[in-house]
Structure 1
């Protein structure tokens, strides 16, 4: 039949040779290792990210290198600038802007104007804050977390980060509040007059040394925070934080050369007051002081409402309603004495906003609708982000009222869960393979078994934990209830040496195979 003999596999059934099965060999539990599949389940997002990060791309290696050497890179850069200043006298006039305030005022002694050289000091503060943060976290705050009894590395890291932020905001909020009180005119007697004073007297041509350092260092800090959230491990609210930081930098970078430092100082004071209470609440939670944490969180909610949704919106309202009808009318203002020259404001935004940098010799600067609406838009965008965060805060408040305790839903949950996730290949699962003698070639080395929901019973998730917690496994006992399946697992060679030993101790025998088991068949 087409060249096929009857001896082939197409022969009639009655003419085929009877099939003789191969001889069976004894198969013992210790000769078999089992590979479990995931039953078609997709890995969790945290595991997928870990698998991707294991493939070290150039960007990943660069980011990791910067994170691990932040202190060294910052110190070396500062030393380079310092040595350049010392070794090259011709550069000292330009290099001095990295260390000292520029543009002493010719109008009043002890005051300063603004200009392009201030950009150098912003760069110096960015490097300084990077070095300060790395040193504080690694050599001060992480050891403090250990002394406080915090064992988990991820929680120690969070404790150190929040402690650094709390310290920064306590210093800068106090500093900013003192500056605002000092700069407030004596004729202020109510809220309306206070809001009017934010815009009166513009442009503010002379700044005190303290106000200039405060504003420049705040701008540098927020630029450095943009770098931090991109080089370090990303949080769940990365895009919200990135957008918030970009808007904050735009407001600071526009209000400083635009000579709106007084209203900018007021906005910073409103924003910073809650930024040291919230880290305090998180620190108390890391220290397992839940009652104090809840009390701090309650204070945080009150101050958040008062500062970011009442005082902040009052400043925004003053910009919309009081200018240009009541104060700071549209027009040209002198850069010599802040006097209004004409009501011709023009429509150019960039040249007027950055006049000290782009046109330092200009005789006037304009306050016009494009500049006003630019500030209104940025302040509104920042308020929208804070409203989104306030919705998350309300969810935490509801949990506190239900007695579940305050917890941060924005960023910690995912990271803490990842810190406790089971590794892709558990270390203990590979130990028996190293200890086992090399089996015969004819014996199977692995048996593929699909682990599905019908085979095992998972423990239910605990409610109110605030994070997706997974416990690390030992052998095959991680998160599984093996009680009624031990005999089945023993027959297919699933139990680890540790589990077999525990079973022997429970039964008081040598774990002899039962009749009908895999090791009893021949």
Structure 2
């Protein structure tokens, strides 16, 4: 930062430093690094092999009761189980649940690895550069957020359709429990539930394969709890509650990536408006509506359903189940509240201009406050340290704001510009609360050089 408050340009590495870096000994490539570097080819090859095997294999569809409470169509062919929904009831469009559903989940875990990397590499990164973004870090971040926007827009659209065409539409929570157990599902509901489960399992894979960040434990806990809730609710026939919660959560995860995309592209006004919408939706969906769903399980369910357990009938509503669901949902709400407290603290300091202890290292580049700034592309690994951002770092950006109405030694314009940069930084650096996180795709250029913990 120079004296007049403007940011200094990041210097390009000299030829000597580049030559020295090229001659440094490199560590041998690990299996994890190889998988990350070749994830597109590996995942695409596995998917292609399954498709080819299915094409040359008779699916051998037959009716059986081996894995279902009533007769249903089963696949003897293993490749067919990866590609098709299993256990359709004869003469209906409804499907039972069973262990063969794990094949479809595995297919989509691999498919998400392929789709995410392919979409980012061939679609979103070129779009970022076409939009005028030159920073390597901003290009990668733009691609990450673009993928999240694409996925959550798709998943929320399906989720809201399922919810609004179901008896429990408009948060009619009593319908969660009436007629339980809800054993058979429509094809769309079953597919939606299994694909969403695969998405969160793939996110667990991503955050554990790449270098850990400062929000690793929060995101890991969130994804573990979410995956446990989805799989247990599926097996125990509580998919109505699960579908409602998924739809409620996904809406917020559309607005935050959109705000970040606007910020990277330099559309600060659109970013600010979208972030305001995100803030309001966060309160409504993750605290009001989600809290209402939790309360319906606590207070409403015992008045409608008697406690009991019958594996043959698919009735799994014991006191142990009751408290297990409440405990997991309560832990999820606790994580959400912690994230919300961080948002409030950041916004409070931003608008009030209060001081905050600057915990950033002295050599942190101030240019990171303006991700849309054009700069020559350098090795993306030089940006890895900027990815680990905490609330204290956000507050330190806020602390550097002028407190006299934006006036600086160069006049009010620089102060206003600085405020807009910090607003952009707040939008950029808030992690993916509750949804799939902002962790990079399994891309080796984003991994830190330090050994994994």
1:170 positional shift? 1.1
CA contact (8 A) 1:155 1:416 kept: no
CA contact (8 A) 2:349 2:399 kept: no
1:364 positional shift? 4.9
Cα distance in structure 2, aligned partners of 1:414 and 1:198: 51
CA contact (8 A) 1:176 1:269 kept: yes
Structure 2 residue aligned with 1:471: none
Structure 1 residue aligned with 2:259: 281
CA contact (8 A) 1:277 1:297 kept: yes
Structure 1 residue aligned with 2:125: 142
Residue number among 123, 136, 139 corresponding to 2:106 in the alignment: 123
Cα distance in structure 2, aligned partners of 1:308 and 1:178: 19
> Residues 73-112 of structure 1: matches in 2 within 5 Å?
73-87=42-56, 89=58, 93-106=77-90, 109-112=92-95
CA contact (8 A) 2:183 2:314 kept: no
Question: Alpha carbons of 1:252 and 1:284: their partners in 2 closer, same or farther (altered >3 Å)?
Answer: same
Cα distance in structure 1, aligned partners of 2:313 and 2:383: 63
Cα distance in structure 2, aligned partners of 1:259 and 1:75: 33
Question: Alpha carbons of 1:86 and 1:421: their partners in 2 closer, same or farther (altered >3 Å)?
Answer: closer
Structure 2 residue aligned with 1:227: 205
Structure 2 residue aligned with 1:152: 135
1:365 positional shift? 3.1
Deviation string, structure 1 residues 336-370 (Cα, Å, up to 9, x no partner)? xxxxxxxxxxxxxxxx5xxxxxxxxx345331011
Structure 1 residue aligned with 2:37: 68
CA contact (8 A) 2:248 2:289 kept: yes
Cα distance in structure 2, aligned partners of 1:182 and 1:219: 21
1:402 positional shift? 4.4
Question: Alpha carbons of 1:388 and 1:121: their partners in 2 closer, same or farther (altered >3 Å)?
Answer: same
Structure 1 residue aligned with 2:96: 113
1:295 positional shift? 1.1
Structure 1 residue aligned with 2:406: none
Structure 2 residue aligned with 1:441: none
Deviation string, structure 1 residues 418-470 (Cα, Å, up to 9, x no partner)? 74599xxxxxxxxxxxxxxxxxxxxxxxxxxxxxxxxxxxxx99925768xxx
- Alignment: residue pair count: 337
Counterpart of 1:366 in 2: which secondary structure? strand
Question: Alpha carbons of 1:129 and 1:364: their partners in 2 closer, same or farther (altered >3 Å)?
Answer: closer
Structure 2 residue aligned with 1:388: 338
Residue number among 280, 300, 321 corresponding to 1:371 in the alignment: 321
CA contact (8 A) 1:122 1:220 kept: yes
Question: Alpha carbons of 1:312 and 1:75: their partners in 2 closer, same or farther (altered >3 Å)?
Answer: same
Structure 1 residue aligned with 2:191: 213
CA contact (8 A) 1:236 1:414 kept: no
Structure 1 residue aligned with 2:431: none
Question: Alpha carbons of 1:314 and 1:68: their partners in 2 closer, same or farther (altered >3 Å)?
Answer: same
Structure 2 residue aligned with 1:328: 305
Question: Alpha carbons of 1:204 and 1:90: their partners in 2 closer, same or farther (altered >3 Å)?
Answer: closer
Cα distance in structure 1, aligned partners of 2:199 and 2:367: 24
Counterpart of 1:151 in 2: which secondary structure? coil
Cα distance in structure 1, aligned partners of 2:334 and 2:166: 29
Name which of structure 1's ranges 124-133 and 198-207 shifts more when overlaid on structure 2: 198-207
1:377 positional shift? 0.7
CA contact (8 A) 2:353 2:398 kept: no
CA contact (8 A) 1:154 1:416 kept: no
CA contact (8 A) 2:180 2:315 kept: no
Question: Alpha carbons of 1:365 and 1:420: their partners in 2 closer, same or farther (altered >3 Å)?
Answer: closer
Q: Which runs of 5+ in 1 are unaligned?
A: 1-49, 334-351, 353-361, 423-459, 468-522
Structure 2 residue aligned with 1:255: 233
Cα distance in structure 1, aligned partners of 2:367 and 2:226: 26
Structure 1 residue aligned with 2:286: 308
Question: Alpha carbons of 1:365 and 1:56: their partners in 2 closer, same or farther (altered >3 Å)?
Answer: farther
Cα distance in structure 2, aligned partners of 1:230 and 1:414: 29
Structure 2 residue aligned with 1:169: 152
Larger radius of gyration: 1
Cα distance in structure 1, aligned partners of 2:126 and 2:82: 33
CA contact (8 A) 2:109 2:201 kept: yes
1:67 positional shift? 1.8
Cα distance in structure 2, aligned partners of 1:399 and 1:281: 20
Question: Alpha carbons of 1:462 and 1:393: their partners in 2 closer, same or farther (altered >3 Å)?
Answer: closer
CA contact (8 A) 2:252 2:278 kept: yes
Deviation string, structure 1 residues 369-388 (Cα, Å, up to 9, x no partner)? 11111111110010011011
- The structure where helix makes up a greater share of residues is 2
Counterpart of 1:276 in 2: which secondary structure? helix
Cα distance in structure 1, aligned partners of 2:245 and 2:251: 10
Question: Alpha carbons of 1:209 and 1:414: their partners in 2 closer, same or farther (altered >3 Å)?
Answer: farther
1:332 positional shift? 4.4
Structure 2 residue aligned with 1:398: 348
Counterpart of 1:306 in 2: which secondary structure? helix
TM-score by length of 1: 0.59
CA contact (8 A) 1:331 1:366 kept: yes
